[in-house]
Amino acid sequence: VQLVESGGGLVQAGGSLRVSCIASGRISDYNMGWFRQAPGKDREFVAAITWNSGRTMYGDSVKGRFTISRDNAKKTVYLQMTGLKAEDTAVYYCASAISELRLRVGLGDYDYWGQGTQVTVSS
C-alpha cells in the first residue's frame, strides 16, 4: 500500500491543524499510525488506531491535544492537532501495520510509510 500525507503547514502556537494520509489501497486491513521527526531528533510515535477504530493510543506529549481517526471508505487516516506548541514542529509521517488488537509504537512494527508532511508551529 502506498501512503501520501497532506495538510501540513505553518500555524501559530495554540492553533489547530489537521493532517491527512490517503492510501492507494484498502486500509481496512491495517492498523494505522502517525509518527513525527523533528530536526536532529529520532522519529517518535504520535498516535495509532486499530483497523476498525475500536482502539486508539497516543504518545504522552500529545495526549489530550491530538486525535487520530480514520475513514476506511475514503482510505484516509486523519490526525487532528489542537493546542499546538513550538515543540510539535516536525515532519509527520503515517504508517501502516498488520491489523491486530494490540497497538504498537515501534518504528519496526510498521511496514509501509508515507513521505511525510511538514508541520511548523511558530511561537
Q: What is the DSSP letter of 39?
A: T
Residue 11 has pLDDT above 90, yes or no: yes
- How far apart are alpha carbons 116 and 99 in whole angstroms? 22
CB of 122 closer than 8 Å to CB of 11: yes
pLDDT computed for residue 101 by the predictor? 84
Contact at 8 Å (CB) between 44 and 106? Answer: no
What does the pLDDT look like over 20-70, one tens digit per residue?
999 998 888 899 999 999 999 999 999 999 999 889 999 999 999 999 999
Beta strands in the chain (DSSP E): 3-6, 9-12, 17-23, 30-37, 44-49, 56-58, 66-71, 76-81, 90-98, 112-113, 117-122
17-79-108 Cα angle (round to 5): 135
| DSSP 8-state secondary structure symbol assigned to residue 41 | S
> Which residues contact residue 69 at a Cβ distance below 8 angstroms, ignoring those fewer than 6 apart?
49, 53, 77, 78, 80
Of the two residues 17 and 101, the one the predictor is more confident about is 17
Angle (CA) 24 62 93, round 5°: 25
